[in-house]
Each structure stands twice: as structure tokens, then as C-alpha cells.
Structure 1
Amino acid sequence: MSHRPDPRITPLPRLAGKVAIVTGATQGIGAATARLFAMHGAKVVLNVLEDNAQARETLASLDTQDAMLFEADVTHPDAVTRMVAAATERFGAPDVLVNNAGINVFNDPLSLSDDEWTRCFEVDLKGAWNCAKAVLPGMLELGHGSIVNIASVHGHKIIPHCFPYPVAKHGLIGLTKALGIEYAARGIRVNSISPGLVLTAIAEAGFAAAPDPEAERRRQEAILPNKRIGEPEEIAYTALFLASDEARYINAADIRIDGGRSQLYHE
């Protein structure tokens, strides 16, 4: 059953007049978030690692002139600074940042290379900090702002052989709480979302790599309490809420979206 927005329904513009940067916006949760934000009246900056055909397709799907594509590796502070400057020049200082860019690094701890460890933390934790650090001065000048970090259920529960991804995601949730408290009195809210299994290109690739892809998909569905895999749009709607003024008293919080999976005592 699809949970995508019904194009026949005209939504109330919950982000009208706001400027939002969405990192890792080429596909999956990032693309779904960018589309939903645009639908709700935001001026959207899509951060992509590479300006390619898929990124351009996502930009076109927003169906608005108030959107732009910016190629930047979030691990490079100078590139992030240029992105925020370009967004500010075109639309004004960002009101909203969604830190979605991330990578999976799953390994046995003693088999993990130093390069794998560094890359995981550079993208999944420091990249989010680079972007937050770049938008915070503008938000402080505006007197308001919402930062939404896309964390993971790995930031709450440990799955063996997924090292060091959960360490970075625990750190991202810690960053969320620390920044949320640090700037609360100055109008800045920082929250995170912890998705469980979501039907993204990465998940699809994981199924495809299994000896029996359909059997693996059914196995994953069976262990979920609601017996289905989440969709990117379901994460995007929570990001929309947290970015909007409807969530103005929610700060330094994390919301798990996993169909209840992480609450199970055993499988």
C-alpha cells in the first residue's frame, strides 16, 4: 500500500516562506523530503554529492522555480560554506536544515580499516556538524531555525556486524541533544529522526545481493510488527512536522520511525 502524497489533495503550506537545505537529496529519504517541503511552500536547496541525471530528475520533480541544486561533499567545510552562501544569496538565510546525507559502514570491529572508520564519522557525524555550523549564524540572526538530523535505530539498538555505523549514529543523536540545548533560548530547535528499515535504493540493493531476494524481503517484512517495510515519504512527513512551526515546542528530541521494531524484546 502506497503512503505517498495524493496529488489530488492541495495541502496547507506548512513551510510557506521558509528556506530549507536538504542534504543527500538525490534519492530516498532526502529526495522525498525535498519534494514534500517544496509542496508545502518552502524554497528548497538540494545538496547532492554529484550533479548527475538522477539529481536533476529529483530537482525537476519538485515542480517549482524556488529550488536549486548544489553539489557539495558535506565532509568538506569550505564546500558546505559555499552552499549556504549560495542559498542565502538566492533565497535568504536558511530557516531549516535537514541533515540526511550519510553512508553505511558495516564491518567486524577487528576487520575495520582506519579509512573505513574515518569515512563513517566524517560523513555520518562530522558532515552533519559541518552543515549545522554553517547555517547556525544565519539562524541566530533570524532568531529562529529548525535542524533535523536523520539518525537511525542503530543509534538506540546494536545490531552485530554493523560496526562502526551505530557509534556514529549514537554520536549524531548526542549532537542533536547538545545543540538543541545550547541554542534553545535563542530560538533554534534541533531534533533527530531515527528510521528503521526503509525502502530506499540501499535497501533494495541489500535485497538484490541476497541469494533469494524475494525471500530476504519477506523475511525482513516478517520480523516487523506491522509486517511491512517503511517508505521514504513516511520519514519525510516527520521531518516536515519538525521543520514546521507546529513543532515549535519540540527540541533536543529523537523520534523513532520503525513500525515498533526496536521495542521488541526478542524476535
Structure 2
Amino acid sequence: MGRLDGKVALITGAGSGIGRATAILFAREGAKVVVADISQEGGEETVRAIREGGGLATFVKTDVTEEEDVRQAVQAAVDVYGQLNILFNNAGVPGPYGVVDVSAETWDRVMNVNAMGTFFGFKYGVPAIQKSGAGAIVNTSSTAGLAGSVGSPIYSAAKGAIVNLTKSMALLLAKSNIRVNCVCPGPVDTPLNIQFFAGMPNPAAARSSFISGIPMGRIGKPEEIAAAVLFLVSDEASYITGVPLPVDGGHLAR
């Protein structure tokens, strides 16, 4: 028996990194997974990996900044698998270094993908989950959403918005039997993390400096974040809601 047997999960940003690792883990635990990603190639690769492992998955090309795309992704879960029980708002992009030389367009891009994409997930995912009677929602924030970020204040602002949206929605949905939490990863070995450090004046030095500040002395793995997400959506976390959970090798414990 898997921990997610009989559940249907929608995961945005599931074409790589944390999203892919979580999609594969959810399927292994018995969930039927809707893989949503802006990358056709990445999304289909995730679906192949799930099916090769004996799981069930379908891909929906989704740009989370497009409201209609998110609506269609939620509808796909209902149309293909009959319901929606779990939503993982995970799609995100890194932010640029600094503020002074950053354009308004870049600000909008970072905020729209990270924060507005999460909002759209709630807007269309919540009614579908309510129809199933109960469920769980997890959002991907960041340690940068819980503390200031010298590297990218804009990214920190976007991820901080997700933390407070998580808490507010947890309160709003508590009596609907829908739990809402967020994971706050530290640096993780993903394409997004590579992009983040690439935006620094000295990427190698920035990465090395960041790792030196992690008590466990290493970058996290996508599978480690996926395990935390699995716990938060599982019955083991049935009394947990409104929590931003750092998964960061002890970085914020300093």
C-alpha cells in the first residue's frame, strides 16, 4: 500500500528538478499524477519515467503565468482521473542579482511565475479539491522567503509572498478539510539553482560561499525536498497546516 493510493495530484514545474522528483515519488506511492510544465520535453520525460516505473501520469503543457493554462491543468486532472486531491504549486524561476540595475519587466517575471502562478493554482485548484471532500496543497517557497537575500532581493520578495499566502490560505481552508503548507528549500542541485548562481557576479565564489554557510556542508538533492513534500501531503501530516518547512541542511538554524 502506497501512502497516496487513490489520490490524484497536480504538480506544476514537474518537468525537472524538485517537481520531477516529487512527481516520480508521488507515483511510486500510488498517486495518479498530472505533470504540468512549460517545457514539453521536460514534462514528457517525467511522464515517461513515471510510466516506466509502473505509475500513471499525464502531461499538460502549462505556463503558470497564463491563467487559462492553469485552469486547463486542473481540469485535466478531473477529466483524466476524475478528481483532484493534491496540488503542489512548485513552478518557479530564480531572481537577478541586486535591485538598482533590474528592470520592471524582470521584477514582473519573477513575481508572476513564483507568486502569481501560485495564486492561479489556488484559484482553480481549491474548488476541484473541495469537490473531492478533502485534500492537501503544498507550495514551494525558499529559505530566501523566510530571511533576507543579498543574492536576490526580488526572488526573496516573491518567495516571501508565497509564505504568507500559504499561511492565509491555510486559515481560509481549514474548515474545508484542506491543509496548506509550503516547503522552503535551501540550495538544491536543480537547473533553477544553477541559474540562480549564474546570475551572480562570480558564480563559483557565490556557490562556494553559500555552501560554507550550510551546517551540513552540502547542497541538497531534489529527492530530499520531494520526501518533505510527500510527508506534508500524506495522512501522517493530518494535523499540520499553515507551516513553512525549511529543508536546508540547517542553514536557517544558525
Q: What range describes the TM-score normalised by the shorter chain of this pair?
A: over 0.9
Residue in 1 aligned with 2:189?
199
Highest Rg: 1 or 2?
1
Is the alpha carbon distance of 1:154 and 1:216 closer, same or farther for their aligned partners in structure 2, counting shifts above 3 Å?
Answer: closer
1:15 correspondence with 2:34:
no
**Counterpart AA for 1:45:** V
Secondary structure at the aligned position of 1:41 is classed as coil
Alpha-carbon separation, structure 2, partners of 1:192 and 1:69: 24
| CA-CA distance at 1:130 after TM superposition | 0.2
| Aligned residue runs from structure 1 range 1-267, under 5 A | 12-52=1-41, 54-62=42-50, 63-64=53-54, 66-204=56-194, 218-264=208-254
Rounded to whole Å, the distance in 2 between the matches of 1:162 and 1:208 is 12
1:210-248 residue CA offsets vs partner (Å, 9 max, x unmatched) = 899877655443321011111000000010011111111
How far did 1:26 drift? 0.8
Distance 2:205 2:152 in 1: 22
The residue identity in structure 2 corresponding to 1:14 is R
CA distance in 1, matches of 2:171, 2:199: 42
CA apart distance, 1:82:
1.2
Counterparts in 2 of 1:32 and 1:170: CA distance versus 1, 3 Å: same
CA root-mean-square deviation? 2.0
Deviations 1:35-85 (A, max 9, x none): 000000000000010212x33222111133520010011111111111111
Specify the SS of the correspondent of 1:127: helix
Alpha carbons 2:96, 2:199 under 8 Å: kept: no
Structure 2 alignment gaps of length 5 or more: none
Using the alignment, how far apart are the partners of 1:214 and 1:167 within structure 2?
Answer: 24
Q: Shift in Å at residue 204 of structure 1? A: 3.9
- In structure 2, do the counterparts of structure 1 residues 168 and 212 end up closer, same or farther at CA, with 3 Å as the change threshold? closer
C-alpha distance 263-109 of structure 1, shift in aligned 2 (>3 A): same
Normalised to the residue count of structure 2, the TM-score between the two structures is 0.92
The 3-state SS of whatever aligns with 1:111 is coil
Distance in structure 2 (CA, Å) of the matches to 1:209 and 1:252:
32
Q: Deviations over 1:237-267 (max 9, x none)?
A: 0100111111111011110011111222xxx
Percent of paired sites with the same residue? 38
How many equivalent pairs are there? 252
Secondary structure (helix, strand or coil) at the match of 2:47 reads helix
Structure 1 pair 57/171, CA: closer, same or farther in 2 (3 Å)?
A: same
- Give, as a single letter, the amino acid of the residue that structure 2 aligns with 1:40: E
Alignment gaps of 5+ in structure 1: 1-11
Q: CA deviation at 1:111?
A: 1.7
